[in-house]
Structure 1
Amino acid sequence: KTRCVIRVAALREKRYCDGVLLAELSTVRDADLLEHALIDALGLADHTSRPPRAVLVEHLRERRTLLVIDGFEHLVDACAGLVTDLLRRAPGLQVLAAGRCPLRVDGERTYPLAPMSDGDAVELFTERARAVRPGWAPAADERVAVLELCHRLDGIPLALELAAGRLRALSVEQVLLRLDDRFRLLTGGRRGAPPRHQTLR
C-alpha cells in the first residue's frame, strides 16, 4: 500500500502547487499527538501557545496541497476526525490515505488493491531475497517452489518480504513447508521498518 500511494502521489504532484506532504503515522501511539505528528510532517515550526489544529488549519487554509497519510489504522477515529475538520476548513487540501481500513469520512473513495501478479510477486520475492543473500537467484529446481510460495502468500507484498527474509537461514522449500504456521513464520521484518511492516499479525 505504501509504495502504491507514494507512486500515485508522485504522479499527481504537479496538480498541487503547494506540494505533496507525507505523514507516516505508524509510530504515533497517542491520538493526542496526531496533530503534532502532522505539524512535524509539514515541517512547521510553531513556538506559540496556539492549539496544534489551529496551526495546521492556518498553514493549509490557502494552499493547494495533497496530504498523504500512511499507517493510521491504530488511530483511525482520531485521524478521521482530524481529516474531516481539515478538509472542511482548508478547501485546497486533498488527502490520500493508505491503510488497511477506510477512514469513513464524507467524500472518501476507496480503492482496494489487488494482489500482485505472479511475475511481480516473484520479482519482489527475488529482490528481497537478494537483500539478505546477495546474488541469490532461484535455481531451476527452486523456481516452482518460489512460484508456489508466492501463490500461497496470495501475492501480498508484506508477506513476500517477510518470507524472503527467512532465506537467511532456510531454503525456499523449507519456508514453503513452514507456511502452515505463517503467522509465526512471517514475523521479524527489518528493524527500521514500522511495526506494521514487521509482522502479518
Structure 2
Amino acid sequence: MCLIYLDKSRFSGDQESLFNEKHYKSLSNEKKVKYLDSLALLLPNKKNDTVLRNLYLKIGAEYYFLNNLDQSYKYSAVALKLSIKDKDSSRMAKSLYYMGDCYENTQKDSAYFYYLKAQKIYQKIHDDDKLGRVHFNKAYVLFYDGNYPECEIEITKALNYFEETDNLKDLFLCNNMMGNCLEKLFCTMKH
C-alpha cells in the first residue's frame, strides 16, 4: 500500500507528527480511509508509549466516525493490548469504551460488557466525567433494549457525575433521555 495520503512534508519522523489533523480534515472520506490505513502501517514497529497508544485510539475513533466499525474495533483493541502491557489505566478504559461504541447499535450485550469494563477502570482512577459518559452509554443501550427501569438507574448515576463536573451538554442529554425513559415507564405501567 502506498503512503501517498500522509502529508510527508510535515513528517519529521517522530510519532507525534504522524497524524496531521488539518491535512486529514481536508480529505474526502475515501482518502481519509487510505490515510488511516497508511498511518496504521507505520505504527507496529514504533515504541509503545502514550503517543503510540493515542495514535491507535485516534485511528480507532476516526474509523468510527467513518462508520467503519470493524476497523475502529481492531485499532481500539490494539490500543487496549498496548495499554495493558504498559499498565496505562486511562487508555485501557478509553479503549474499552471505544470498543463498546463499536457494538452499541448492533450487539447491545457486547456494548454493555465493554462499557462495564471501562466503568470499573474509570472508578479506580476516579475519572468522574468519563464515568458519567459510561453510565450514559450503558443507559442508552438499556433504553434501546427496552430495559427502562435499569436505564433510569444508569441515567441517575450519569446525572450525578455530570452535576459534579458541570458538564452542561451531557447533563442536557441525560435529562432528555431520562424524560424519554420515564415516558416509556409510564406507558408500560398504564397497560
TM-score bucket of the superposed structures, by smaller chain: under 0.3
Give the TM-score normalised by the residue count of structure 2.
Answer: 0.27
More helix by share: 2
More strand by share: 1
Give the TM-score normalised by the residue count of structure 1.
Answer: 0.26
Identify the structure with bigger relative contact order (alpha carbons < 8 Å, sequence gap 6+): 1
